[in-house]
Structures are given as C-alpha cells and as structure tokens.
A and B are shown apart, each in its own frame.
Chain A
C-alpha cells in the first residue's frame, strides 16, 4: 500500500471530512436544536409557581434554544382531553413552553392533538397570553408509518405534523391509568395517533376482541406504547407532576396528589422512570418501561440520569 499522498489528494480529503462534519452537525442541529444536549438529563423544580418553574426547569437543561432553532416549526403534544382535575397537563406549564418556543424564535407552533378551546381557559394566564395562544396552529392529518422494530405494533397512523416538525416537545401529565398503571411521556404518544391505531393498542388486531370488549393482554398495550415511541423521540419532555390523578385514571375523578413538581428532560423514558414515584410505583415493575428499555430508548437505571433538583 502506498502511504504517500500528494497535496491535491490531501486537500480533497480535508474538504470531504469537513463537509461531512458540517452535514452531520446540521442534521444534528435540525433534530436537537442549536446544541445537542447530553442525553439522560433531567431537571425538576418544586413549588407553586408552575409557569415560572417550567421555565426554570428548561433553563437548567440549556434553555429552549438548545432544542428549538430560530425559524423552526415546533410540535407540541399536550395531554389535554379530559376535564377532571389532575387529568390534564396544567395549561400554565404548556403556556410556559409556548412562550419559551416563541422567545427562541420558533416560526410556527403546531398542536399535535386536538386541544379544546376551554383547555387554555383553565389557566389564569390565558387572557394575558391570548395572542400567543392564537398563534398555535392545529393539525389533524395522519400518515401511515411503518414501525420496523415494533414487536406488536408494525404500523400506525401518526400525525403528519409530528413527523414533519423541526422540534417536538412532549407535555404529558403523570397520572394513574387503569390499563398501564400510569400514563406519562411514553403513553402520551398515543395522542399523536389516530383513533383506529389507539384501538389496536387496546384490542389488538382481532375483530373478535373488539366485540369481547376486553384487553387481549395488558402487555399488548404496554408493548404498543413502547413500539410507537420508536417513530419519533421528543427533543424535550416537560412533565406535569404538580397536581396529579392518583386513582381512577385516565379520566377520573379520583384522589389528587400534589407533588407540585415540574420535570424537564431530554429523555422521555428517564422522565417517566423518575416521575412514577409520585404514584407509589416502582418503575422496575412497569411493563411499558421495561419494553421501552428493550428498544434501547433510554437509561437502564436512574443512576445513568443526570438529575438536577430545585
């Protein structure tokens, strides 16, 4: 082998290397924002000022500019469908995220699921932030997506906007759920799926199961949730663990616990593993977390997570 290279070849190699580095960085920026933050980071803020605490939690991870580039489109998946207390992500938290995205220079904010008009009215800040809320676009078109690595879910109808947005922020509430024992970041992804896909999660592919009206297997739901999370990972998770439904989830009413905690994380699985403590659960016992770990979605233990607590 001839180790000697001439000047022209050397320059060509340098240019190719530089071009590759620039391309990789650009792709990384497109997905992660200006600076790809370290994975498995989590920040929690406890207190009654949920709007301010949300900002503080995200700032501790580098600020929204670490996730949202100027001129980008941001997709928000907000857990909002139910009306009982403790069943929906506190709109103060969602409004804080909206504000931070706009301050970071987002060109457009898209809600990835159907948020009723009255959702924002539950916040005392909604009048003050009417103009910001008015900028949110709502998208409901779906696309069928193949999930090659899915074990139970091989295809799903997913929100177009989820697939196309530059940055994706997941805003769930941690609460009880009769099927999976808790719902949080991972399960919130069902909000970006069509109703027929969601039915599959509960009933499986058999028509008979629909008429039976029962779960074929509780693990099917957990596996499908882990599978659908492969479609796209959120750039940022902002979790409502402030006033949460501890029984009779997902729709309540039931007992309310008040940890008063806002959690921001770069990894949804880490956030769920951390947050389920508020429901008296041990993440190691939860199938949906185990299945997500099997997909290599996040940490294998909380020791792998850098946690800042305020």
Chain B
C-alpha cells in the first residue's frame, strides 16, 4: 500500500527530472538560438556552430576573453553565415552569468558614437557591426566587409536572433547613482579590466571592487566604485590615494574637504572621494568642476 501511495510522487519526480534534462539540453543546444531557414532569407550558416565555454573563450578571441571572464561568462556560440554571393557575416551569441553581466559587456563594447537600434533590450550599430543585449545574452553581428549586402545580412540575422531570444533582465542597480543631468552614456563594470577601458590605471589591487557604474558626460567621467561596506571603501580610498601619489604619471596631488585631486599627463584632473560603501572618481579637464561634482555626489550619498 505504501508503494502505491508513493508511486505518483515517483512519477512526478521522473517527469520533472526529464524536463530538467530536456531544458538543459535545449540551453546547450546551439540550434535553439542560431537562426536558420526562412527567418534569415538567402543567408545560411556555412559551418557547424563553434561553442566555447569558460576559459576556452581564450581559444576563440585570445586576449579579448579576459574582459568577458571578468563579468561572468558561460559560453559563446559563433557561426559564419553567407549569402549566394559568398558575402559573410559573423554571428556571436554570448551567454553570460546574468543579465547585468550581459548589459555590462554590451555597455563597454559599444559607444555613444554608434547609432541606437531597436533590438533586444538595447542595441547599437556602426557600419560594420550590430550589437545588442537581451536578458543574459550579449549578441554581436559583424559583416566581414563593408558592402551593402553584408549590411543587409547583419540586420536580417540580428533581428532573427532577437526574435528567438525571449530572455529578459534588469540593468544593474548601481547605475541609478549616476547623476542624470547631462548623462550621455553609461557603463557597468565588474573589475579592473573594465575600469581600464574607462581610464588606464596601471595598478590593479587599489581598485578592487564588487562592481562599478561609469557615467559619460560631455566634459567629465564619473565612476561609482562599489565595495562591500564603508570600511572596505575606506581601505580602497586610501589605497588609491597611495597609488596616485606614487605613480609618476600623476602630479599636483592635494586634498580639499576629504577629496583628493591629482592631474595626469594630459592635464586632466582626477578627484577621488569616499562615501559609505562607494569610492567616487571624477575625471575632467575642468578641475573645479570635477571637484564640485565629486563633492556633490559624496554629499548626496
């Protein structure tokens, strides 16, 4: 009798396990995300999808892999498509650990000079590429030459991928701290390599972070570096202070109202402040504006 009562549970467990297995197989299957057939018109894949996972990303994009790994990378599917004129378009679909990572990668790889396109949860395009993010996916489509055919192929394939991916996600919360007035662009970073793409600090340890928001304005750049707590933020602030004092690329170090200021070789001013769990960095060619921005943000937090 006991075995009869537990039988439905057992069936449920088996069914659930099969479902999980199928879901996992679908997640790993390239066929799920890569467009084919009528969805892409006269374009067709000319190879079996290449799949790289984890550190194997290095084999695919060499040194460019490190930034993806810093954000939290799972796998990429890469396929070349051609049309009947043998024009080629490369598609790369990156599955990241979460939507914030996908947004982060997208944010540092695009630029405000690129044209916004209505793809995914945010997309941009220049002559030779289209990029967008959607949920935990970052998508890159690139033409191998600048012909109108490649351009057409990029658009067809990008739209097809957008239709296939149904995942959605939220942008990182830390971005909300960026002052909205005059904001031209924003970046989300999760480590030193991402920060290096904003400003080339040559020393890693001083800038350890949980993550950071970067705001691009007309005449300044603002970085909110988030740490674990205010004590850790204080340590980071002091470490950055020591670094700026010791690196010969910076001079004219001084402090005013607990905000440190230095100048770099390009005559830009860097202002560093700390409030709560955040270290604030403002970079500007206008020293007084940089200081006022840093102070205003510090006081507002």
Contacts and interface: CB of A to CB of B under 8 A. Distances in A.
A48 interface: no
Contacts of B173: none
A14 to B, nearest CB: 54
B232 to A, nearest CB: 19
A199 interface: yes
B168 interface: no
Given A84-B142, A214-B70, A250 B64 contact: yes
A185 to B, nearest CB: 16
A210 interface: yes
A284 B142 CA distance: 33
A255 B112 CA distance: 11
A83 B69 CA distance: 22
Contact of B144 (A85, A249, A254): A85
B197 A178 contact: yes
Interface in B70-92: 70, 80, 88, 90
Give the size category of A's interface with B. Answer: 35 or more
Q: Which of A83, A178, A202, A210 has the most CB of B within 10 A?
A: A178
Interface in B122-155: 126-129, 131, 140, 142-146
B235 interface: no
Nearest to B143: A85
B90 A83 contact: yes
Given A215-B193, A252-B142, A254-B129, A178 B67 contact: yes
Contacts of A217: 204
A160 interface: no
A119 B21 CA distance: 41
Contacts of A110: none
A218 B142 contact: no
B265 A85 contact: no
A228 to B, nearest CB: 14
A251 B128 contact: no
A215 B67 CA distance: 10
Given A250-B63, A253-B128, A256-B127, 19 more contacts: A83-B90, A83-B144, A84-B142, A84-B144, A178-B67, A178-B196, A180-B63, A181-B196, A181-B200, A199-B58, A202-B63, A202-B66, A210-B55, A215-B192, A215-B193, A247-B111, A250-B64, A251-B61, A251-B64
24 contacts: A84-B142, A177-B63, A178-B66, A178-B197, A179-B63, A181-B200, A213-B54, A214-B66, A214-B69, A215-B66, A215-B204, A219-B202, A247-B111, A248-B64, A250-B63, A250-B64, A253-B128, A253-B129, A253-B142, A254-B129, A256-B127, A256-B128, A282-B266, A285-B265
